[in-house]
């Protein structure tokens, strides 16, 4: 786990190893979620990056007749 310091302007620098691991690039949007006693930074992926993420999903589940 890496520790960062908050600047007087309330800015933080994301460490290089974290940026590389998550593929964060300059100008990329990151969603910030405030939970009870912590913050979570979630990189926002473009819609194109989600293409094909359901490939291989099993669609043979039993469904009710009105859900076909």
Domain that holds residue 41: 14-50
Evaluate whether residue 64 is within a structural domain: no
Q: How many domains does the chain have?
A: 1
Q: Is residue 6 part of a domain?
A: no
Give 18-59 as a DSSP string.
HHHHHT--TT--EEEEE-SS-EEEEEPPPGGGGTTTTTT---
pTM (2 d.p.): 0.61
Residue with the larger pLDDT of the pair 29 and 64: 29
Instruction: Answer whether residue 62 is part of any domain.
Output: no
Is residue 61 situated within a structural domain?
Answer: no
Determine, yes or no, domain membership for 68: no
- Report which of residues 5 and 49 the model is more confident about: 5
Structural domain contains residue 18 = yes
- Short-list 17, 25, 18, 14, CA closest to 49: 25
Collect all residues with Cβ–Cβ distance below 8 Å to 6 and sequence separation of at least 6.
12
Residues 32-68: pLDDT tens digits? Answer: 999 999 999 998 888 887 788 888 888 887 888 787 6
**pLDDT for res 35:** 93
Residue 21 lies in a domain: yes
58 assigned to some structural domain: no
Do residues 48 and 41 touch, judged by C-beta distance below 8 A?
Answer: no
């Amino acid at each position: 786990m890496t520790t960062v310091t908050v600047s007087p302007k309330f800015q933080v620098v994301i460490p290089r190893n974290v940026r590389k691991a998550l593929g964060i690039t300059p100008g990329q949007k990151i969603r910030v979620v405030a939970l009870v006693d912590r913050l979570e930074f979630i990189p926002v992926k473009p819609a194109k990056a989600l293409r094909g993420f359901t490939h291989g999903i099993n669609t043979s589940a039993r469904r009710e007749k009105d859900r076909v």
